[in-house]
Structure 1
Amino acid sequence: MTTSTLPFALPQTLDAELDRVKDHWHGLLRGSAEIPFADDLSLEDLPGLKPQLALIEVFERPERFRFCYIGEEMTAVQPKALNGKFLDEVELPFPFEYIRAQSSATVESGKASFYEAPADREHDHPAYQRLMLPLWGDGHVSLLLVAFEGL
């Protein structure tokens, strides 16, 4: 018997700040729902973490993803230049490597996902971690909450 693992699976433990975001997301669950509702999310409820968060809108048929918020700590990416842009329409700079794949895997699984990038000394990029959490709206996963650590 083989055991399958989800792509972008969560590690056994998360950094304290990523764990805080995950706990907040979990606290948004209503009743027996497995995914919180997007309209229950307020970035203001995550004091001190808003600068290292991003929000990605999810569209279905065709599946597309669009940045709707990028925290100001991500100065390397010029957040204002990416806000409102679809991920497939722009060249995705550090720290957004593999974010389209992670977004798609998160939507398909309906579960939290995780990506860890090693340091890239050639481009002077630090190692970082990225947690992605799905939120429900309009009958599908409509929003992804993304938290970064290490930037």
Structure 2
Amino acid sequence: MQPFAAPRTLPSQLERARAYWQGLLRGGADIPFWDDLQLTDLGDLVRDSFTLDAFELPLRFRFAQVGEGLKQSGGADLEGVFLDEAQLSTPFEFLLSQASATVEGRCPTLHKVPGAYSRLLLPMWGEGRVGLLLGVVAWD
């Protein structure tokens, strides 16, 4: 069983994000290409979305973009910061573990804190690897 496995049924906001991600698939690809991602296409979800750049050897993650809603929830100074150098709080608990599982599993993952939030991570392909993760948070 994969850690952080995303269930078939997600909260409506996260289901919309997953449907958007699936809509980006080209040909026989099972992961969309990162250059097809347009955060503005997420509509109202963009407020509670973020992207992580994924680097290889060693595997590291850096916040690339953080939505305005997440900036107000403790993520104001995270853009450009590596996860292993950040002091992460709600809604970013266990983000490093989830991001690693997303890259290794090459599929969507979910972290849920009952009564607080759910966070979906979606892998994006480019340059022969998973190099970007799209994250969306849904508040309970």
Q: Show the counterpart of 2:61.
A: 65
Give the Cα–Cα distance (whole angstroms) in 2 for the partners of residues 89 and 6 of structure 1.
Answer: 26
Aligned length: 139
> What is the RMSD computed on CA atoms of the aligned residues?
1.0
> What SS does structure 2 have at the residue aligned with 1:48?
helix
| Percent identity (aligned) | 46
C-alpha distance after superposition, 1:93-150 (max 9, x if no partner):
111000000000000000000010134xxxxxxx100000000011110000000001
Q: Show the counterpart of 1:99.
A: 95
C-alpha distance after superposition, 1:30-52 (max 9, x if no partner):
10001000000000111111101
Question: Following TM superposition, by how much is the alpha carbon of 1:77 offset from its aligned partner in structure 2, in angstroms?
Answer: 1.1
Q: Name the TM-score, length of structure 1 as normaliser.
A: 0.89
Give the Cα–Cα distance (whole angstroms) in 2 for the partners of residues 143 and 129 of structure 1.
Answer: 20
Q: Does 1:25 align with 2:14?
A: no
Larger Rg: 1
Give the Cα–Cα distance (whole angstroms) in 1 for the partners of residues 75 and 6 of structure 2.
Answer: 28
Amino acid at match of 1:24: Y
Question: Following TM superposition, by how much is the alpha carbon of 1:19 offset from its aligned partner in structure 2, in angstroms?
Answer: 0.4
Give the Cα–Cα distance (whole angstroms) in 2 for the partners of residues 131 and 40 of structure 1.
Answer: 19
Q: Does 1:141 align with 2:130?
A: yes
Question: Following TM superposition, by how much is the alpha carbon of 1:11 offset from its aligned partner in structure 2, in angstroms?
Answer: 1.9
Which contiguous aligned blocks of 4+ residues in structure 1 show a shift greater than 3 angstroms? none
- Could you tell me which runs of 5 or more consecutive residues in structure 1 were left unpaired when the two chains were aligned: 120-126
- Could you tell me which runs of 5 or more consecutive residues in structure 2 were left unpaired when the two chains were aligned: none
Question: Following TM superposition, by how much is the alpha carbon of 1:90 offset from its aligned partner in structure 2, in angstroms?
Answer: 1.3
